[in-house]
Structure 1
Amino acid sequence: MKRPISQQSVQVALGQAALPVGVLTFNKDGARESSTFAYHEAWLRSADRFEISPDLQLVQGQQFRKAPSRDDSIFPFAFADTEPDGWGCRVIARDHARRRKSAQEKGRDVPHAGLTEMDYLLGVDDLSRIGALRLADEAGNYLRSIEDGGRGTPPLLELGHLIGATRAVEMNRETAADLKYLRGRGTSLGGMRPKCTILDEDGQLAIGKFPSINDDRSVTRGEVLALHLAAAAGITVAQSRIVMSEEIPVALVRRFDRVTNGGRIPYLSAGSMLQASRQEEHAYTQIADCIIARCADPKRDLEELWRRLVFNLLITNVDDHVQNHGFLHVEHGLWRLAPAFDINPFPDKDPELKLWLNEDYGPVDSIEAVMNEARYFRLSADEAKRILGEVRNAVGDWKRVAKSAPVGMTDDDLDAFQPAFENGQTEAAAALL
């Protein structure tokens, strides 16, 4: 028996001006899913053209993509970056299951049983989709648009409602109203922790990150502390602060892929820039190679990347994988490092980073080894020592910053996080200085 074959195409546009770029097509052949992309000829002729994804060359015709492993996306890398993260996928799947059940009970047409990769890709609201890529149907409607003319991104004053809905999902007690409220408002930047796209008080996009019911420490305050320490260490970071909602600390992190007039900046994760499979190990030196090949100011970004490497080790940020580093487009296919985001101290972990130092050394676990690799990042011994001193001094001030108004940690919080900031690596850094 021949397997059913289906296709679904969407128009791809770029930025707030919605410049037509090409067509993305989802293909389903039985259980097999794949995608193809073709640039519009007008984009290929444009003076402003660039490869929107490193695996999509500026050529005519269809470019095919299938996932090399179960963990990888079937879409070209730039599109995969805009897919919902683990939390967003959880909300979409729960909502789909509830819709099916409701339709069955009411005798209506039941949505198809299994969600496809395309369903998840199109499950993100157009306003909040990361970067500048926009997807539209044949009628020109941008996907996903909120139904019934509702507001796609809630304002800050709705934090209480958002927290209640996310906690209901965490406890498997969500209602149809909870899921309708959360649907499409997830993010692409993050993992399984509860979060939502939100409008800050001045109308700018931000990500609201909520405590989990399973937390044994104030993870949201820990992330804001890490971002403020990173800024003090000379690292470009996403703006952040703690916002209280009924005694619950929410981390509010501003989106860095938007400008004040609503403009959108193209974004690629470091994983996409590397064209990396999610099943492979990756190294800081590989990201450095991408910077040398693709960035507008390689020296600046190489120093910044090495500074982040030092900082991550000294604060025990062991979740520094390639999806937690990114790039913003500058012009004509040249990029720059995006501000640092999703930096978290892990006081209950050994200081061994997820990313490797290089392909021979393995995971980063020694500040001495990091110093020895500084030349790969085009830093002299004196420059490396200066940067180490700046980062070490910033991290050493962690208790004062933790008590500051934007973070607001208690004495109990300080005790919980101390092992992340005061450990063998920070002692070794002090000895090197």
Structure 2
Amino acid sequence: MPLVKFTSANLPLGHEEGLCEAVYLSLAERAGLQPPRWQLLPAPEASGARAWLAVERFDRVWRPEDVPGCIHLHSACGLLDADFRAPSLDYEDLIKASGQLCRGVNAAQLQFLRAVFNLFAVNQDDHSKNWAFLQSDGGDWQPAPFYDVTFSPGRFGEHSTAYAGFGKNPPLKAMQKLAAEAGFASWEQARQGIDRVLNALADFSATAKALGVSAETTRLIQQQLDQAYQQNIK
């Protein structure tokens, strides 16, 4: 069963909110960041929207061969006692917790690259409830899909989750510290993943056009993506 995100003209991007999130989910998938499955549903003409975004409920079991039910989910908010209402989480803590909880560097490195995506994609609403973990019946944990990822500038350009102590424009030493915490053998190895993220984000305008985002909104977001690239490329 999907979760359908309805839109409103009062939202920052109006009725294009769902379209823009669909673009970001597409780019995250290309970057290998494991977002949830999604689709765009035609919206009634009277709604004022072109389409609404439907996202898979990844905390439910719906496969025909399984018994329907819930998958245990725990947010970083609850797990790390990090208040989502105010900046209270650091990617260093999230990466460390991911490696320990999921028992390996793969989860930690995935979270690092998701942090990189948020940095360059200007997804600054990256608070502690937008990070979660799923537990299997056997007790094994894994990061939840990369959800609620979209263009979302924060107040004063600050991220809700800090980068080794920096709310915005983290210096090279901060990103290297996070990469080391994630278990990359070297900064050069981490850069390979970063380049994959940047290459995916380079397709923003083309993907936005393909999914029906207006030229005006595409230009608005692309300008800020370009600015984020200039401020943060190391």
Structure 1 length-normalised TM = 0.48
Contact residue 208 and residue 251 of structure 1 kept, 8 A: yes
Secondary structure (helix, strand or coil) at the match of 1:290 reads helix
> Amino acid of the residue matched to residue 101 of structure 2?
R
Return closer, same or farther for 1:428/1:277 CA change in 2, 3 Å cut-off.
closer
Tell me the C-alpha RMSD between the 2 structures: 2.2
For residues 324-355 of structure 1, the C-alpha deviation after alignment (integer angstroms, 9 at most, x for no partner) is 01101035433110001101213686653110
For residues 264-312 of structure 1, the C-alpha deviation after alignment (integer angstroms, 9 at most, x for no partner) is 211111112213345661111111222232214x211011000000000
For residues 73-112 of structure 1, the C-alpha deviation after alignment (integer angstroms, 9 at most, x for no partner) is xxxxxxxxxxxxxxxxxxxxxxxxxxxxxxxxxxxxxxxx
Task: Confirm or deny that 1:345 pairs with 2:151.
Answer: yes
Return closer, same or farther for 1:280/1:245 CA change in 2, 3 Å cut-off.
closer
Aligned to 1:382: 188
Contact residue 284 and residue 356 of structure 1 kept, 8 A: yes
Return closer, same or farther for 1:363/1:239 CA change in 2, 3 Å cut-off.
same
Return closer, same or farther for 1:394/1:410 CA change in 2, 3 Å cut-off.
same
Aligned to 2:34: 236
More helix by share: 2
Aligned to 1:284: 91
Secondary structure (helix, strand or coil) at the match of 2:162 reads coil
CA shift, 1:223, in A, is: 1.1
Aligned to 2:230: 427
Return closer, same or farther for 1:277/1:312 CA change in 2, 3 Å cut-off.
closer
Q: After the TM superposition, which residues 264-283 of structure 1 pair with which residues of structure 2 at under 5 Å, given as runs?
A: 264-278=70-84, 281-283=88-90
Contact residue 364 and residue 370 of structure 1 kept, 8 A: no
Contact residue 265 and residue 329 of structure 1 kept, 8 A: yes
Contact residue 237 and residue 340 of structure 1 kept, 8 A: yes
Secondary structure (helix, strand or coil) at the match of 1:242 reads strand
Structure 2 length-normalised TM = 0.85
Contact residue 27 and residue 201 of structure 2 kept, 8 A: yes
Contact residue 316 and residue 347 of structure 1 kept, 8 A: yes
Equivalent position to 1:245, from 43, 46, 54: 43
Which sections of structure 1, spanning at least 5 residues, go unmatched?
Answer: 1-204
Secondary structure (helix, strand or coil) at the match of 1:241 reads strand
Which sections of structure 2, spanning at least 5 residues, go unmatched?
Answer: none
Say how many residue pairs are matched: 221
- Equivalent pairs: percent with the same residue? 25
Contact residue 327 and residue 337 of structure 1 kept, 8 A: yes
For residues 89-138 of structure 1, the C-alpha deviation after alignment (integer angstroms, 9 at most, x for no partner) is xxxxxxxxxxxxxxxxxxxxxxxxxxxxxxxxxxxxxxxxxxxxxxxxxx
Contact residue 95 and residue 109 of structure 2 kept, 8 A: no
**Which structure would you say has the larger RCO, counting Cα contacts within 8 Å and 6 or more residues apart?**
2
Q: After the TM superposition, which residues 121-140 of structure 1 pair with which residues of structure 2 at under 5 Å, given as runs?
A: none
Return closer, same or farther for 1:351/1:226 CA change in 2, 3 Å cut-off.
farther
Q: After the TM superposition, which residues 2-17 of structure 1 pair with which residues of structure 2 at under 5 Å, given as runs?
A: none
Structure 1: distance between partners of 2:82 and 2:205: 38
Aligned to 1:413: 217
CA shift, 1:317, in A, is: 0.3
Return closer, same or farther for 1:353/1:276 CA change in 2, 3 Å cut-off.
closer
> Amino acid of the residue matched to residue 5 of structure 2?
K
